[in-house]
Amino acid sequence: MLKTVLIIIQVLLALGLIATILLQSGKSAGLSGSIAGGGETIFGKKKGLDELLSKITAWVSALFMIVTLLIALV
């Protein structure tokens, strides 16, 4: 029973991790990204969202690793 609950939580965390990674903008946007994205980062729109998604990704990945270790122990 506990293992089933942990696996369900792990699947949900995996989907959340995939979503947060895909929502982040690429770091190597090239010349077009520096021209088009420059105005957005000045006003703090894009930078704030990327930082938030980065923090969410770190937390979700840490929870994913913890749940994976718990499944291995059970």
For the stretch 14-48, pLDDT in tens is 999 999 999 988 776 555 555 555 555 555 556 78
DSSP state, 74?
Answer: -
pTM exceeds cut of 0.75: no
Q: Return the residue matching tokens 């965390």.
A: 13
- Rounded to the nearest integer, the mean pLDDT of the chain is 83
Query: For residue 69, is pLDDT > 80?
Result: yes
> Residue 63's domain spans which residues?
2-73
Separation between Cα atoms, residue 66 and residue 38, nearest integer Å: 38
Q: How many domains does the chain have?
A: 1
Predicted pLDDT of residue 38: 54
Predicted pLDDT of residue 6: 96
Half-sphere exposure of 35 (CA within 13 A, CB side): 3
